[in-house]
Amino acid sequence: MRILLICGAGMSTSLLVEKMKKEGEKRGIKDLYINAEAADNLEKIIDDYDVILLGPQIRYKEKYVAELTKEKNKVYRVIPPHIYGMIDGAKTLDLAIEALKNK
């Protein structure tokens, strides 16, 4: 599973990415790749990912993300502010897994 978290500059999500990776290891999830990038790079790299998670601070880009993910047959979700604010790697990983299951 390849998960991309997108935010304004690709930096504010790095802590969340690390927590998600640790949670994935704890759960024994194989072939898990998680990365954070700036929203401006999405069009160039979207094909490399299965799930796109949008940081709540750039929810204003949701329409663009929704259109691009639909065009590319990808799935996306907006990370709820309370999960993002708590830097909850487990719940964010659950969000990505559920998004793929319900694709």
Pair type for strands 2-7 and 33-38: parallel
**7 tagged catalytic:** yes
Sign of CA dihedral 61, 67, 70, 71: negative
**Active-site residue identified among 3, 7, 20, 42:** 7
Beta strand segments in the chain, E: 2-7, 33-38, 51-54, 75-78
- Say how many Å lie between the first and final Cα of the chain, rounded: 14
SS3 at position 12: coil
Just list the catalytic residues: 7
